[in-house]
Amino acid sequence: MEPWEPSSFAWRADVTDWEVSSLHAAAFRHDQELEPWAARLHQHSLGWVTARRGDSLVGFCNVVTDGGRHAFLVDTAVHPDHQGSGVGRELVHRAVQECRASPAQWLHVDFEADVGPFYLADGLFRPTAAGIVKL
């Protein structure tokens, strides 16, 4: 892997449905399905952070909102070729920074136990009890 280019992160940068769908499929190891990401982002999101290497989208995280005090960090994804390089950490740090400049007062994140250390590192998030059900 070549050195990471730190200047390639952006808040609310344009993305295509194809590139976010491709990244999501690679990061979460599932079959690729084209999803309407751009429409969803503009309808439901406070913002999103992108990480690019050249023209390629290699990282993404989305901050959805209830329109008031609460925001939710979802869909944090880093291409497998860039996992472990600090891209994910920078995505989350930038999302938190942007949320602090917004009307939101709380940023929530749910995660599986194996990625808990990632989200709880740096003191950004504190552990809480939460629940989830697959629909």
Q: How do residues 118-127 score in pLDDT, each as one tens digit?
A: 888 888 888 8
pLDDT at 85: 92
What is the rounded CA–CA span in Å between residue 67 and residue 46?
Answer: 8
- Asked if 49 and 26 count as a contact pair (C-beta separation under 8 A), the reply is no
What is the rounded CA–CA span in Å between residue 87 and residue 48?
Answer: 14
Q: What is the pLDDT of residues 48-90, one digit of tens each?
A: 999 999 999 999 999 999 999 999 999 999 999 999 999 999 9
| Total-model pTM | 0.88
